[in-house]
Amino acid sequence: MNRKILKYLFLLWLPSSVLAQKTVNDKELQQALATNRFYADSTAQETFRFAKLSSYYLSTLMPERYSTISLSYNYDKGTYIPSQGATKINAGKLSTEGTVKLGDIKLFGGFSYTKTFEDSTRFSHQTRNNTSSPYYFGSPAYVHYERSVYRFQAMANKNFLQEKLSLSIGTDYKVGDHFSTNDPRGSIGEYQFNLNASLGYKLSAFVKLGIGYRHGYGQEKITIGYKNPRYYESSSFPMYYNHLINGYGETKPMLNDRKYNDDQKRNGLDLYLDVNAGNLGSFHLFGNYIEENQRYFFANGSGFTDYSKYNLKTSDINLLWNKKLTYGIVGAQAQYKSVDGADYNIGFNANNYKYLSRNLGAKLFLTTLSAKSIFNHFIKADYLEEERIDGIRANDVYFNHILLMLGSSKRWIKENNRYLGIGFSAHYQFSINDDFKVAPANEAYFTRYVIYHDYLFNTSSAAGGEITAEYGFPLFKMMMSSLKLNAIYTQKLDQKSLSRTIVTAPGKDRFSSNISLNLYF
Amino acid sequence: MKKYLYLFLALFAFASCKKNNSTEIEPVDLNIKINYNLTTSAYTLPLNIAKLKITNIETRTSQEFTANDKGIILIPKLAPGFYDIDASSNFSATEYSTITGTVTEKAVTFNASLKNKQITVGFSETINLNLIAGSIGDWVIKQIYFAGSDRVNGAIFRDQFIEFYNNSDKTLYADSLYFAETTGLITKSTSGSYNLLASGQLDWSKSQNMPADIDANNDYVYARAFLMIPGTGKQYPVEPGKSIVVAQTAVNHKSPFTGVDGKAITVLNPSLTVDLSKADFEAYYAPFLSKPLASDIDNASVPNLEVLSYFGTDMIFDNPGRYAYVLVKVDGTQKPKDWPQYNYPTKAAPSSSAGKYYQIPAKWIVDAVEVQPNEATDRIPKKFGATLDAGFTFVPLGSYTSQSVIRKTEKTVNGRVILKDTNNSTEDFDYFNVANPRGFK
């Protein structure tokens, strides 16, 4: 099944991404420069990111033609991280994406391969895509994780009825392999497939309405193995034995049955509204609702054993506004996202765990363009609240925090299409409210290593900055290339005190860096 | 511009309102009532000294409480799950003598326990615990090495031993001291074949030919192996604070020795096993077997146990720890060899060749220790009531790990070590990482 999907996606991806690169002609360099400019324009990038939310926007918000390949290396270090994060990350990524128009059909294709090495991560044999899950394995001892993830994206669009009616389809397929190299040795295989189809209709030259449908499914397959049999033969090594987390509270030893599957199915509905308000600019409103059902079970020759069920309801509303100015573009983006998760605990035949999160964000950005330079400025505010409730253990932990960011960048355009860019930004995060209800009587490993740590991390305040430098130049007179460096530093400012047994707490800072070689066609 | 700002703030305020969310499952408030199980109404014992410990079997978190004057304990917001509940009241000899008028020289401990109790969602019953004073004897079981040592690098099961200790202040004689490995329901998956009590243990009253006028479950235990220390009556004195070690095979298991088949028996890692060449007694089963166990050699310098009944090819204790151990001392009126034997209380009638097990009266038991597997999920219903052993003990690492259970030292008086004996092995026992004959902890 996986191979069939892989083949299908590859064929879909091929014409847009690869053929786009094959069909370069004498105007290659001009096309490469346009693509490069597209990536330099943060307003265009915001629009592009917004457009990738759905194939619905392929015809209107994505460039007619562009292609890029990027090879990047990421290095993160520092202990100002959530409890289940990694103290050090080394990651390499190869990615390519592009659009092309073949006749009346516009295509988008994207591919990425990411290899990640995570040092010192604990209590989370997970893929990192399903972090609200109530049911997973973990241990307090640090493990080293390696992850390989391949992702294929494809979109296609065709317009009908004098371009009044647009039909779009998009697929997103991901396959990954995650494993830890020391005891306890988690091994997680995953695949995810998502499909979206949308129909848009222009009511007038100014207003377009759309509706879309989403369907997806996937699986995570988890197995925990050991080199040292002592760690699973008894529960005398709690740092190493396999803990089962089922909810948001204390674990139980799962020494023997150390495998399960998490099958996921999701369906959703999209609504779209686009308004071209003339002098006021253009507005794009996109809302969707997705309901996902996860089933945690184990299957063998004698049948199925169900362990847990989890239902996730996600509502997402995105608004994009941009307006062309004489000297550039101004825009804004706002987002509201809510996630409501609830489990069905098989042992108690009732709901025990709830996960609730709300995210509200707004960003204002301005790009000014001239022959010699490009300026980008932005200001951003993000509000996040999250609550995890475990009924049988009477745990209820709530926090919210606000992240404020502002930044600017400038690109100096030199002779022969060379350029130099530098950018700065600053961020500040603080919490305004929290609620902490955790019964001390239930305090053991998970409470000490995860709940306390995360509460301290999520309610702390922090500030930091980011610096970006980029040098770009033409390559072989047919493409643009750039070398980009990026570094982010975040320092913890303040942390709450908690009168509990604290065995681990967030560290003082976190450093992230990235270097990439980018080719634009 | 202001109105957009207000709109944003309104949205922000909406988002920041914390919603009141609850789940379908909530913790329970657990009520426990403690009483003394006294045979007389001539006196009453204070309830507000009773201590209670409740341990979640899965998370191993525990909480401790003290009863009020009425013996009531309320445990608020207890997470549903499986729990071990242990209660005890301790009286010094003086206190007990003063209250009861019964002169005693030893502290008296009353115990009650409820093991593997499931507290369900919405549990509203009151749990009643009856504190019972067990027999505190001069002889105690000090150490049991049932786990054995590593199957590849150690001696497997052949280095097992049990140690008995004179916990009194006078010389005792080991002559005619009996001990037994007692049986019951051992494998939960076979429970459907037996008549069971509400606790899940065997209902021995349903055994074939069991007299109807006795309390077969509470007044007796049933032996898989029943052995006796020989002697003429005063042949084997044991001084106060001294012990006797009874070995499966009394050799130095750290060193190679020659088995009865003429082949060398060795261990790869001597540090995992023990030297039992100085044991006081050993079990020797070869005379009963057509094909004796190769390792069961007869050390001529160590007296052999008298075997009343046996199981297997040597005194091989169950490595996971699913059986229990009793020490028995009888007076001249008793002939244990003649005590009756009964079949397991199977639902189907036992065959004529089905095994029978000695019925040992609890009144002759001077000490009892229940052991259990190390993992909660592998544990079986308790075999002993609070009069024999209110709790159980186990080796944390489980089978073939060299670990033994060892009775804790309570105090030392004039150089004599007095071992802890509250009749609750959960409280009285610790463990050695490597079994240590005659060692203390």
B25/A362 CB distance under 8 A: no
How is the beta sheet containing B281-282 ordered, strand by strand? B281-282, B243-247, B161-166, B139-145, B404-407, B429-432
Contact yes or no for A35/A480 (Cβ under 8 A)? yes
Nearest CA-CA distance, residue B294 and chain A, Å: 29
Same domain assignment for residues B61 and B148: no
Contact B396 A236 (CB under 8 A): yes
CA angle, B150 as apex, B145 and B155 as ends, to 5°?
70
Question: Average pLDDT for residues B278-307, to the nearest whole number?
Answer: 95
- Nearest Cα to A480, choosing from A66, A92, A112? A66
Contact A250 B61 (CB under 8 A): yes
Query: What's the gap in Å between the CA of A350 and the closest CA on chain B?
Result: 6
**Taking CB atoms and an 8 Å limit, are B23 and A353 in contact across chains?**
yes
Give the pLDDT band of residue A521 (cuts 50, 70, 90). Answer: confident
To the nearest whole percent, how much of chain B has pLDDT over 90?
A: 78
Predicted confidence band at A14 (pLDDT cuts at 50, 70, 90)? Answer: very low
Which residues of chain B does A351 touch, with a Cβ-Cβ cutoff of 8 Å? 23-25
Segments making up each domain of chain A, as ranges: 2-520
pLDDT value of position A75: 97
Is the pLDDT at B15 greater than 90? The verdict is no
Q: Is residue B128 part of a domain?
A: yes
Nearest 5°: CA angle at B425, between B420 and B427?
A: 65
Range of the domain at B61: 28-133
Residue B108 identity: V
**Whether B319 and B405 share a structural domain:** yes
Choosing among B28, B59, B74, B378, which should be mutated to test the A contact, i.e. which has the most A CBs within 10 A? B59
Q: How far apart are CA A459 and CA A143, in angstroms?
A: 26
Whole-number pLDDT of residue B103: 86
As a whole number of angstroms, the distance between CA A366 and CA A409 comes to 11
Q: Are residues B100 and B154 in the same domain?
A: no
CATH number at B69 reads: 2.60.40.10
Does residue B190 lie in a domain region?
Answer: yes
Residues of B in contact with A234 (CB under 8 A): 374-375, 396-398, 401
The pLDDT, as a whole number, for residue A35 is: 67
SS3 annotation, A258-314 = CEEEEEEEEEEEEEEEEEECHHHCEEEEEEEEEEEEEEEEEEECCEEEEEEEEEEEE
Q: Are A122 and A142 in contact (CB under 8 A)?
A: yes
| Confidence check: pLDDT of A480 > 70 | yes
Lowest mean pLDDT segment, chosen from A61-75, B16-30, B176-190: B16-30
Task: Measure B352 CA to nearest chain A CA, in Å.
Answer: 37
User: Quick check: A180 and A143 in contact, CB under 8 A?
Assistant: yes
Taking residues B302-323, what's their average pLDDT?
95
CB pairs under 8 A between A and B: 112
The residue among B5, B23, B123 with the most chain A CBs within 10 A of its CB, best to mutate, is B23
Could you tell me if B108 and B187 lie in one domain? Answer: no
Distance CA(B304)–CA(B230), nearest Å, equals 8
B126 and B153 share one domain? no
Q: Under DSSP, is residue A25 helix (H, G, I), strand (E, B) or coil?
A: coil
Parallel, antiparallel or unpaired: strands A88-102 and A66-77: antiparallel
pLDDT at B18 over 90: no
Three-state DSSP at A521 gives: coil
Is a pLDDT exceeding 70 seen at residue A27? no
Q: How confident is the model at residue A83 (pLDDT cuts 50, 70, 90)?
A: very high
Q: Is A393 on the interface with B (CB under 8 A)?
A: yes
| pLDDT tens-place string over residues A90-147 | 999 999 999 999 989 999 999 999 999 999 999 999 998 999 999 999 999 999 999 9
Pairwise CA distance, residues B208 & B206, whole Å: 6
Q: Which of B118, B133, B148 is the last residue of a domain?
A: B133
**SS3 of chain A: helix, strand, coil, percent, to 5:** 15, 60, 25
Q: Which CATH architecture has domain A2-520?
A: Beta Barrel (2.40)
Is residue A66 classed exposed, middle or buried when 0-12, 13-18 and 19+ CB atoms within 10 A define those classes? buried
Lowest mean pLDDT among A454-463, B3-12, B119-128: B3-12
Q: Are B129 and B253 within 8 A, CB to CB?
A: no
- Asked if residue A13 has pLDDT above 80, the reply is no
Residue B17 reports pLDDT greater than 80? no
**pLDDT tier, B12 (very low <50, low <70, confident <90, very high otherwise):** very low
Contact across the interface for B58 and A253, Cβ inside 8 Å: yes
CA B346, CA B190: separation in Å to the nearest integer?
10
Beta partners for A480?
A474, A520
CA distance B188 to chain A (A): 17
Report, as an integer, the average pLDDT of B246-259.
Answer: 96
CA distance A491 to A510: 7
Cα(B327)–Cα(B407) distance, rounded to whole angstroms? Answer: 14
pTM: 0.84
- Count of helices and strands (H, E) across chain A: 8, 21
**B111 and B153 assigned to the same domain:** no
Per residue in A175-221, pLDDT tens? 999 999 999 999 999 999 999 999 999 999 899 999 999 999 999 99
Element of type H or E holding A10: helix A2-13
Residues of chain B positioned with their CB less than 8 A from the CB of A251: 58-59
Q: Is A112 left (phi over 0), alpha (psi -120 to 50) or beta?
A: beta
**Residues B77 and B151 occupy one common structural domain:** no
Mutate to test the interface with B, among A228, A231, A233, A234 (most CBs of B within 10 A): A234
Question: Is it the case that residue A7 has pLDDT exceeding 70?
Answer: no
Q: Looking at the domain assignment, is residue B16 inside a domain?
A: no
**Closest chain A residue by Cα to residue B28:** A392
**pLDDT band with cut points at 50, 70 and 90 for residue A230:** confident
Per the DSSP assignment, residues forming a β-bridge with A200 are A166, A210
Question: Could you read off the pLDDT of A292-309 as tens digits, one per residue?
Answer: 999 999 988 888 999 999
Q: How far is A75 from chain B (nearest CA, A)?
A: 34
Which residue of A lies nearest to B82 if distances are taken between CA atoms? A252
Distance from C-alpha of A417 to C-alpha of A35, rounded to nearest angstrom: 13
**Do the Cβ atoms of A391 and B24 come within 8 Å?**
yes
pLDDT one-digit tens code per residue, B257-271: 999 999 999 999 999
Position B10 pLDDT exceeds 70: no
Three-state DSSP class for residue B8: helix
- A85 to chain B, minimum CA–CA distance in Å? 24
Count the domains in chain B: 2
- CB A145, CB A121: distance < 8 Å: yes
Q: Which chain B residues are Cβ-neighbours of A389 within 8 angstroms?
A: 21-23
Residues in chain B within 8 Å Cβ distance of A350: 23-25, 121
Query: Same domain for B95 and B207?
Result: no
Enumerate chain B positions whose Cβ falls within 8 A of a Cβ in A.
8, 11-12, 15-16, 18-19, 21-27, 56, 58-61, 63, 77-81, 121, 374-377, 396-398, 401
Tell me: the pLDDT tens digits for A325-357? 888 899 999 999 999 999 999 988 999 999 999
Cis peptide before A82 (omega within 30 of 0): no
Q: From CA A237, how far away is CA A417, in angstroms rounded? A: 62
Q: Which of residues 415-434 of A touch B (CB under 8 A)?
A: 432-433
> Do B119 and B181 share a structural domain?
no
- Model confidence at A22, pLDDT cuts 50, 70, 90, reads very low
Domain boundary among B94, B115, B133: B133
A236 and B CB contact within 8 Å: yes
With contacts defined as CB-CB under 8 Å, which chain A residues touch B397? 230, 233-234, 236
Q: Are residue B45 and residue B146 in the same domain, yes or no? A: no
Give the residue from chain B lying closest to A435, CA to CA.
Answer: B18
Q: Is residue B416 part of a domain?
A: yes
- In the listed set B133, B161, B179, which residue is the last one of a domain according to the structure? B133
C-alpha span between B109 and B192 (Å, rounded): 37
Select from A345, A385, A444 the Cβ nearest to the Cβ of B16.
A385
Q: Are residues B261 and B241 in the same domain?
A: yes
Candidates A345, A435, A429, A352; CA nearest to A387 is A435
